[in-house]
Chains A and B, each alone.
Chain A
Amino acid sequence: MTSRPLMLLRITTSATEEIGLTPHGKLSIFPVTGGSFEGERLRGKVLAGGGDWVAARADGTFDLDLRVTLETDDGALIHMTFTGVRDDANDYLRTLPRFETAAPKYAFLNRLLAVGIGEIHPEGPVHAIEEIL
């Protein structure tokens, strides 16, 4: 598969909300307080208010379910979600981001699929997101 870089997304979170053991596993919510994204075709900041709903699975991995709002440096809002898997035993954090926007300039985001390669840094997760060509 061929791909090309879309953006580097950095997310900052506040204190984790531990929901605890639910029928689907232990659920933790990571509220998003901000962040930034930068790529050749778009850049801007992550708005506060989203989060990542992380469910611990019985096999030791985590299901990720993120939704955030991105604001480009020229004022467009982009709704972004991803699902993904975090498997610490195999150092594997991969996501499938999707985007929705009403801004014509960024309409290309509505028409693409993407993959994120994630890393957990002390200041928060960083996702290198590539467009699937």
Chain B
Amino acid sequence: MNTRLLMMLRVIVAAPQNIGAVPHGTRRTVPLSGGDFEGPRLRGTVLPDGSADWLLLRADGVLEMDLRVTLRTDDGALISMKSFGLRHGPPEVIAAIGRGETVDPATYYFRTTPRFETAHPAYAFVNRLVAVASGDRRAEGPIYTIHEVL
């Protein structure tokens, strides 16, 4: 599989909303208070309102992530990003992440599959690609290295 770097995306998480036990697992919604992204072809900031990660901890211990973010490029284009992901790893590693510790991202699986939508002609290429990302959960929020699938 050939890929190339699309962007590094940093998001800042706000206080989580713990929905609790639901029929499919344990649900938690994490609003985002901001962030930024930078890559060879686009860069800008994360809009806080409406951007959040909808998390579902499954019975098998895997965390399903459903991140929806509005990106604003430095030249004013809005890009909607939706990204489904999975996170799992050894219990001690996941517990350390839960305590807000910085953990080597190679010690757990944190991968997502972003899709993008925009109306801006300069960024129409993002409408036509699929992407994969590896995540690195930091205390202030995840850092995603997003690659376009070529």
The segment from B14-22, B37-45, B93-101, B124-132 found at the interface with A is: B124-132
Interface flags, A45-60, vs B, CB<8A=1, else 0: 0000000000001010
Residues from 30 to 88 in A contacting B, C-beta threshold 8 Å: 57, 59, 61, 83-85, 87
Q: Chain B: how many interface residues by the 8 Å CB criterion? A: 22
A85 to B127, CA, bound (A): 9
The answer to whether A111 touches B129, judged by C-beta atoms less than 8 angstroms apart, is no
Chain B residues, Cβ within 8 Å of A132: 111, 132
Q: B149: which of A59, A98, A107, A115 is its contact (CB, 8 Å)?
A: A115
Contact A95–B130 (Cβ < 8 Å): yes
A96 at the interface (CB under 8 A from B): yes
The CA of A1 and the CA of B134, in the complex, are separated in Å by 8
Give chain B interface residues in 112-136, CB to chain A under 8 Å. 112-113, 115, 124, 127-130, 132, 134
In the complex, the answer to whether B86 meets A113 with C-beta atoms within 8 Å is yes
Instruction: Contact check, B62 vs A117: say whether CB atoms are below 8 A apart.
Output: no
Tally of A-B Cβ pairs under 8 angstroms: 57
B88 touches A61 (CB 8 A): no
> Complex formed: what's the CA distance from A130 to B132 in Å?
12
Main secondary structure of the interface of A (DSSP, over half): strand
CB distance from A116 to the nearest CB of B (A): 9
CB-CB under 8 A from A61, the residues of chain B are 127-128
**Bound Cα distance A117, B2 (Å):** 10
Contacts of B147 in A (CB 8 A): 1
Q: Hey, which chain B residues are within 8 Å of A107, CB to CB?
A: 60
| Chain B residues with CB under 8 A of A19 | none
Q: Which residues of B contact A (CB under 8 A)?
A: 1, 3, 60, 62, 84-86, 88, 109, 111-113, 115, 124, 127-130, 132, 134, 147, 149
A residues near B (Cβ < 8 Å) are 1, 3, 57, 59, 61, 83-85, 87, 90, 92, 94-96, 98, 107, 110-113, 115, 117, 130, 132
Give the 3 A-B CB pairs with smallest separation, nearest first.
Answer: A3-B1, A96-B113, A94-B130
